[in-house]
Amino acid sequence: MAISTAFERQPTDPAVVAHALAGSRLRAFWLDDVAGAERYPALTSDVDCDLAIVGGGYTGLWTALLAARRDPFARIVLLEGQTVGWAASGRNGGFCEASLTHGAENGRRRWPKEYEQLARLGEENLDEIVSTVAELGLDCELERTGSLEVAIEPHQVAWLDEVPDEPGTTRLDRAAVRAEIASPTYLAGAWHRGSTAMVHPAKLAVGLARAAAQAGVLLHERSVVRSIGDADGGAGGRVEVRTDGARVRARRVVLATNAFPSLLRRTRLMTVPVYDYVLMTEPLSADQRAAICWRHRQGVSDMANQFHYYRLSADDRILFGGYDAIYHAGRRMSAAHEDRPASYERLARHFFTTFPQLEGLRFSHRWAGAIDTSTRFCAFYGTARAGRVAYATGFTGLGVGATRFAAQVLLDLLEGVPTERTSLAMVREKPLPFPPEPLATLGINATRWSLDRADHRAGRRNLLLRGLDAAGLGFDS
């Protein structure tokens, strides 16, 4: 029997939603905030290098910076099709998490024998991100506030009780969680105090690019890579990276293209681009901040299958995103997919159900971005062209922190020397691919429908979801 959710039991007046969205700009707030950042020239002439990196998001930027630190004399070239941080790295919620496995539950289920090692490596990775930000003086508004996981339905309270106790986690009952953040939807919560840092995503990307350039990396924007191939007639020689205007001949290549179509045929079915939608409010007044508490500024997510995530910005705006995860048949990506009024209206309704005391607040920005979803919910790795090309993708929405770890893995793989990272089953194994069309569209839409039904049936999963769980397959954002 279907039951209503908190957002249906406590609906928002449509007039409140219309007022809040009126005048909002279809543009990522974070990218607006760095509109005056340094720009880098397009590649216009052929060049030889030791390492070519395709993609100027977090994976590519961390790879460039860490490679320059490993070998200060290496000639490193980074190619970005738009501007650094333009795609997922400048559009995400800014949750920089320690988890490398999209949460403890996913990690324990898939790699039980090495989960404790993965958790340790993830914590070390987050510590190193924090220390690098401080060392380089990166102005990315980093706050290590932790994250708050909230139950908004009775069955989610029971789920919280099943979560293993972890160091640094504080369980909160109804009164305690509402004392942290004043929402009438909250029934219980768990505050994971050290596992998450909040960042300004675009400022982090801009800062990493600047640091890489200062370390000697040659960055080129507006340089779309069309293909890669052998430059010297076969294995063992250089790899040729081709743009519209020039070619790069590199000893080694890293592919860091995230949700965009892979330059390697072997990985094209491994991910699907899923569009995630986000709202950002105008800055809260002092009275509005007082009305919701939120003194500790944690990042928040609820426990539904179709979940929301939200956080405060440095100037006390609220970012509110998630819920809808939209796939377009044929793995199509287009700026036209970003303007989806139904998703923004749904988010606005859910926002005011969560914070009814903020009625009258307006949203200044609305935007969307494509997530590189894999069936195992976290990144996978590999090499091609006799070990001269390395790639990582499939972060499934939790790449802000995990991309730095991925960069280390990629450099390890290219060096060909076994390390603790490259010995991990998580690194050596590949996920099951998504099926080709039209099966991908049919399967993803059936899975989305089933997840919605589970949220309306006290979390009970139907036969399709149970079958996918047993097969180690999934669809998530």
- Domain ranges in the chain are 7-33+146-197+274-374, 47-126+201-270+376-428, 439-471
Q: For position 195, what pLDDT does the model report?
A: 94
Average pLDDT over residues 175-183: 98
Nearest alpha carbon to residue 365 among 314, 325, 307, 318: 318
Question: What is the band of 476 on the pLDDT scale with cuts at 50, 70, 90?
Answer: low
For 7-33+146-197+274-374, the fitting CATH number among 1.20.120.330, 3.90.230.10, 3.30.9.10, 1.10.287.3510 is 3.30.9.10
Average pLDDT over residues 387-404: 97
Cα–Cα distance measured from residue 113 to residue 443, given in angstroms and rounded to the nearest whole number? 31
What is the percent of the chain where pLDDT is above 90? 93
Question: What is the band of 1 on the pLDDT scale with cuts at 50, 70, 90?
Answer: low
Question: What is the band of 264 on the pLDDT scale with cuts at 50, 70, 90?
Answer: very high
Average pLDDT over residues 1-16: 90
Within 13 Å of residue 410, how many CA atoms lie on the same side as its CB?
A: 32
Q: What's the token pair of residue 177?
A: 């969680």
Average pLDDT over residues 446-464: 94
Q: Inform me whether the pLDDT recorded for 2 exceeds 90.
A: no
pLDDT tens for each residue of 72-86: 999 999 999 999 999
Question: What is the band of 381 on the pLDDT scale with cuts at 50, 70, 90?
Answer: very high
* Residue bearing tokens 């097969």: 471
Determine the distance from the C-alpha atom of residue 47 to the mean position of all C-alpha atoms in its chain, rounded to a whole number: 32
Nearest alpha carbon to residue 433 among 269, 265, 264: 269
Cα–Cα distance measured from residue 310 to residue 415, given in angstroms and rounded to the nearest whole number? 39
Q: For position 167, what pLDDT does the model report?
A: 82
Q: Inform me whether the pLDDT recorded for 235 exceeds 60.
A: no
Q: Inform me whether the pLDDT recorded for 371 exceeds 60.
A: yes
pLDDT tens for each residue of 318-349: 999 999 999 999 999 999 999 999 999 999 99
Q: What's the token pair of residue 351?
A: 């926002």
Q: For position 65, what pLDDT does the model report?
A: 98
Give alpha helix (H) positions in 293-438. Answer: 341-354, 399-415, 425-428
For residue 13, the 8-state DSSP code is P
Q: Which residues pair with 370 in a beta bridge?
A: 275
Starting at the edge strand found earlier in the chain, the sheet holding 271-281 runs 25-26, 363-374, 271-281, 318-327, 308-312, 299-302, 147-151, 188-192, 169-172
For 47-126+201-270+376-428, the fitting CATH number among 3.40.50.970, 3.30.70.260, 3.50.50.60, 3.60.15.10 is 3.50.50.60
- Average pLDDT over all residues of the chain: 95
Q: For position 236, what pLDDT does the model report?
A: 65
Q: For position 477, what pLDDT does the model report?
A: 47
Q: Inform me whether the pLDDT recorded for 164 exceeds 80.
A: no
Q: Which residues pair with 190 in a beta bridge?
A: 149, 171
CB 269 within 8 A of CB 380: no
Average pLDDT over residues 220-238: 87
- In terms of Cβ atoms closer than 10 Å to its own Cβ (0-12, 13-18, 19+), residue 251 is middle
Report CA dihedral (83, 407, 245, 214) to the nearest 10 degrees: 70
Question: What is the band of 206 on the pLDDT scale with cuts at 50, 70, 90?
Answer: very high
Least confident piece of the model among 41-45, 163-167, 384-388, 395-399: 163-167
Question: What is the band of 234 on the pLDDT scale with cuts at 50, 70, 90?
Answer: low
Q: Inform me whether the pLDDT recorded for 398 exceeds 50.
A: yes
pLDDT tens for each residue of 109-129: 999 999 999 999 999 999 999
Average pLDDT over residues 366-374: 97
pTM for the whole thing?
0.96
CB 369 within 8 A of CB 87: yes
pLDDT tens for each residue of 186-203: 999 999 999 999 999 999
Q: What's the token pair of residue 304?
A: 């539904």
Rounded to a whole number of angstroms, the distance between the first and last alpha carbons of the chain is 27
Q: For position 270, what pLDDT does the model report?
A: 95
